[in-house]
Amino acid sequence: MITENILLTVRDYLRYAVTSFNKAKLVHGHGATSAIDEAAFIILESLKLPIDDINPWLDAKLLANERTELDRLIEARVTTRKPAAYLLKRTYMHGVPFYVDERVIIPRSYIGEMLVKGLFDEAGLGFGIEPENITSVLDLCTGSGCLAILAANTFHNATIAAADISSDALDVARINMKEHDLLDRVELFQGDLLDAVKDQKFDLIITNPPYVATEEVNAFPPEYAHEPRLAHEGGIDGFDLVRQIIIQAPKHLNNGGGLLCEIGIGRETLEAEFPKLNFFWLDSELSEGEVFFLKF
């Protein structure tokens, strides 16, 4: 054991992990935005403790096997540059747990915040869409299935479909559906964008598609390069798939239905390319104008 008889408490390991991460100049952004946040997540999740606050546990002494596991995780984070979520096979979106591995991108969608915190409810009122009136939802480019699960928790009267081109991603989504007891309510579809659901129509399509420009993907730091390239890359300007979704969506929406889509930055590009569409841009606590709603 690297730290045998030196590091004994949670506080000791928190300090050691933060120092190790900073020395290695790790990049953070997969559910944790700093070395201290990611170190705290690794420690709490490894010890099966609530991840919201490490302070109550700082002076707790660790068992030998717990120290051994933390040594392994901290060393792996530094040497492999894999995000902690991959090392632990676990991530959270606003307190909701999800299984993840390298077959899927680590979920971090602003749409998730809107679903969990009810921000979409407020926007929906302006469009004449009430959550209780939504009876069918498609999560397009579902990845791990996290948005489909959050949608199922938000739209209680809706059947949920989740589609992805990657069979590996759908295998991970299936694990999460089982974990959240939603196998009977969420149906999974494999295929290229909306071709996956053939002629089905929905009241609402939500999607967090690949929207990163190829040049930016090529320059990714190792942490992001561990994620499937397919889940990031959106062409030269990042919007190849977004354009296809905008064009295809009306054929798959019921009368009065809407498309909720995350695109990152670059709203001016879409507004210029689709001047006749009435984009409504939604803000979250950490973003401005990176999610749009279109009602067709």
User: Domain check: are 23 and 99 in the same one?
Assistant: no
How far is the C-alpha of 32 from the C-alpha of 53, rounded, in Å?
13
Choose the final residue of a domain: 88, 117, 142: 88
User: Domain check: are 77 and 127 in the same one?
Assistant: no
Q: Residue 5 domain-assigned? A: no
How far is the C-alpha of 147 from the C-alpha of 142, rounded, in Å?
7
Strand pairing category for 280-282 and 291-295: antiparallel
Q: Residue 3 domain-assigned? A: no
Q: Residue 156 domain-assigned? A: yes
Give the pTM. Answer: 0.92
User: Domain check: are 64 and 108 in the same one?
Assistant: no
How far is the C-alpha of 139 from the C-alpha of 197, rounded, in Å?
11
User: Domain check: are 43 and 66 in the same one?
Assistant: yes
User: Domain check: are 171 and 203 in the same one?
Assistant: yes
How far is the C-alpha of 259 from the C-alpha of 240, rounded, in Å?
17
Between the two ends of the chain, the Cα-to-Cα distance in Å is: 61
Domain residues for the domain of 19 are 10-88
Choose the final residue of a domain: 32, 59, 88: 88
Choose the final residue of a domain: 27, 55, 88: 88
Over its length of 296 residues, how does the chain's per-residue pLDDT go in tens digits? 455 568 999 999 999 999 999 999 999 999 899 999 999 999 999 999 999 999 999 999 999 999 999 999 999 999 999 999 999 999 999 889 999 999 999 999 989 988 887 765 555 544 556 778 899 999 999 999 999 999 999 999 999 999 999 999 999 999 999 999 999 999 999 999 999 999 999 999 999 999 999 999 999 999 999 999 999 999 999 999 999 999 999 999 999 899 999 999 889 999 999 999 999 998 877 778 899 999 88
The CATH number assigned to the domain holding 44 equals: 1.10.8
User: Domain check: are 97 and 75 in the same one?
Assistant: no
User: Domain check: are 149 and 290 in the same one?
Assistant: yes
How many structural domains is the chain composed of? 2
Q: Residue 224 domain-assigned? A: yes
